[in-house]
Amino acid sequence: MSDRAIFEVCAFNIQSAIIAENAGAARVELCDNPVEGGTTPSYGAIKQTREKISILLYPIIRPRSGNYLYDANEFDIIRQDILICKELGCNGISVGVQKIDGEIDIERLKQIVEWAYPMGVTCNRAFDVTPDPLRALEDIIRTGCERVLTSGQQSSAPEAAQMLHQLVQQAGDRIIIMPGAGIKSSNIIKLRAESGAKEFHGSARKATANLMQFANPLVTDFGNVYIADEEEVRKIVAYLK
């Protein structure tokens, strides 16, 4: 194993992206909608974040929550959002597409890789809801993606160390396996040793206090603002060096 591995922060706002860079993360996956697992951030969010951070920036391209089975209109939205990311100088994107039987949609993912070039493409956790992960890995490799973000088809990556190790071994030098979901400073050393992975992904997020001086107690549907915990990101990065 190399002496160094890297950490990608899943950032749900520009503040978290800035914290990620300050804390030594190598890359940011920029998302909106943490409660729904992440959807495509706005043009303004991507533009401002690109201008404020110098580390690698990979916005998620996911037009809605739910599954990764998209109709023609949604697939065209994906195309347009990819072009925006290229226009704004992003380094890559995070995306996933499936067929109705749950398998990776190879042809559509190939098309996405072509649209994205020269940006890189991470296949996101659409991989984790495929019926056969070993076959899905080979399918993704065929599309030209550079990495797979995966929890090993479990609810969190630390629960799937054995599967992640198997995926790392199968992938070899053909594609990067990047464990993500449930990664903390308290489990990263063990997971790294057991999986053999060299890239890891997590949000290290915490809910922030509401700074408003007035709040109507009868209206409670505003949700929370989540910010990356800088101390936690620093710990994870340090453990991976």
Tokens 């929550």 appear where? 65
Q: Which domains does the chain have, with CATH numbers?
A: 6-240 (3.20.20.380)
Ranges of residues in the chain with a pLDDT under 50 are 1
**What pLDDT sits at residue 2?**
53
Pairing assessment for the beta strands 176-179 and 147-150 based on DSSP bridges: parallel
Tokens 């990819």 appear where? 82
**What pLDDT sits at residue 1?**
44
Distance CA 11, CA 88 (A): 18
| pLDDT tens digits for range 75-101 | 999 999 999 999 999 999 999 999 999
**What pLDDT sits at residue 163?**
98
DSSP code, position 144: T
Say whether 94 sits in a helix, a strand or coil.
Answer: strand
DSSP code, position 160: G
- Residue 179 neighbours by CB under 8 Å, 6+ apart: 150, 151, 152, 157, 160, 164, 191, 195, 197, 200, 201
**Token duo for residue 48:** 């401002």
